[in-house]
A = this chain, B = another copy of it.
Amino acid sequence: MSGPRVGIIGAGQLGRMLALAAYPLGIHCRFLDASADSPGGQLAPIRVAAIDDAEAVAALAREVDVLTFDIENVSAKLLESVVPIVSVRPGPEIVALGQDRLAEKRLFAALGMPTAPHLAIDSAADLATAADRLGWPIVLKARRLGYDGRGQRVVRSHAELTQAWDELGTPPAIAEGWVAFEREVSLIGVRGAQDEIRFYPLTENRHRDGQLDVSIAPYVDDALQAQAESWMSAMLRQYAYRGVLTIEFFLTADGLIANEIAPRVHNSGHWTIEGAETSQFENHLRAIVGLPLGATATRGVVAMKNLIGRMPPREKLLAIGGLHLHDYGKEPRPGRKLGHVTLLDRDRSALTSRLAALEAGLESLQSAGAKSGGA
């Protein structure tokens, strides 16, 4: 047990893929999660407790050299509380910021990053002014704890807006003006121990029902890449960041609009396992334990498709040439991310065709499954 010890709060699929990347590096991961049979807990030691259990977090902190997390809604206060006994990477400050959509917007503004027009909603009076300032539709988001479309609504009238805020529980919120975007892209970067910064290429993301469905990389646009990297570099340095950071953008006719950050490995970077020389998981680990970063060069063009709600039969998936399967070891449940698949190609149009065939095939497998096994 000579390698660095990394504690991971949360043992979902991100933690699982971190642990899978850690073993070949000789890095020892251990988790904190409420479920022993969680995706990560199936393959590394786990301390079973709620992720906001202060004693459990402190106990994990004492067992490891570095503490990280696979879920952005980890308690920033709890992370702060263990800073005296363990290296917490990324740090509590940016975690707290990423959990607050208003603070996030203010950071974007401070760094000169365009962002959606918005205003804070703290009272019914704020709601009344929203349409005048933002027009319709408006995206109402709780300021805290948003994830994968949860805690946010698109509304088209004052009545809908009021109802949406009520249904969210009248939390501190922000109202955002609608951004007419052409596409969504994300940038994943990593900062190491000696201010060493590396970026993956921009990734194009397609959502469905508020969840990431497909990512395709690289999204090639040198000017946008340089712009996004420059913003992220400033952010990484401002927070003396260590590890992988993700920024999601809308791409509009006027360029990039910053949407949100995730201070962790990200679903839109899963393609890096096969598609980049060093995966986002390996580079996050290298960064947080102080090892040199690995190359982020791509191995071609690559598409990642999430498997949500129901797993297609393994033998059908693996009969698809060149498909790489990532099963997260979860029980199926509607809307749940159960795994993903990756396709890699040298040629973009070939990749596009293969992805279209894959998506058509999945639809048919899922509807066949629904017919034969559905309620």
Binary contact track A294-327/B, C-beta < 8 Å → 1, others 0: 1100010000000000010011001101101111
Identify the closest chain B residue to A16 (Cβ).
B23
A16 to B319, CA, bound (A): 25
Chain B contacts for A163, CB-based, 8 A: none
A90 to chain B: closest CB distance in Å? 20
Q: Which of these binds chain B: A49-57, A64-72, A261-269, A285-293?
A: A285-293
Contact string against B for A residues 92-121, beta-carbon threshold 8 Å, 1 for contact and 0 otherwise: 000000000000000000000000000000
A26 to B39, CA, bound (A): 11
The chain B residue sitting closest to A293, CB to CB, is B318
Q: Which residue from chain B places its CB closest to the CB of A44 in the assembled complex?
A: B43
Q: Are B299 and A318 in contact (CB under 8 A)?
A: no
CB distance from A2 to the nearest CB of B (A): 8
Does residue A42 face the partner (Cβ distance < 8 Å to B)?
A: yes
Is A3 located at the chain interface by the 8 A CB criterion?
Answer: yes
Q: Are B315 and A291 in contact (CB under 8 A)?
A: yes
Most B CB within 10 A of own CB, among A294, A314, A319? A314
User: Within the assembled complex, what's the spacing in Å between the Cα atoms of A321 and B286?
Assistant: 14
Query: How many copies of this kind of chain does the complex include?
Result: 2
Which chain B residues lie closer than 8 Å to A327 at the CB level?
3, 23-26
When chains A and B are docked, how far (Å) is the Cα of A42 from the Cα of B45? 9
A20 contacts partner chain B, Cβ-Cβ < 8 Å: yes
Shortest distance from the beta carbon of A78 to any chain B beta carbon, whole Å: 28
Q: Find chain B residues with CB under 8 A from A172 CB.
A: none
Asked if A160 is an interface residue, CB under 8 A from chain B, the answer is no
B25 and A325: CB pair below 8 A?
A: yes
Query: CA A42 – CA B19 in complex, angstroms?
Result: 12
Given contacts A3-B327, A23-B329, A24-B325, 14 further A-B contacts (CB under 8 A): A2-B311, A16-B23, A19-B43, A20-B20, A20-B23, A23-B43, A25-B314, A25-B318, A25-B327, A26-B325, A277-B344, A286-B318, A291-B314, A295-B321
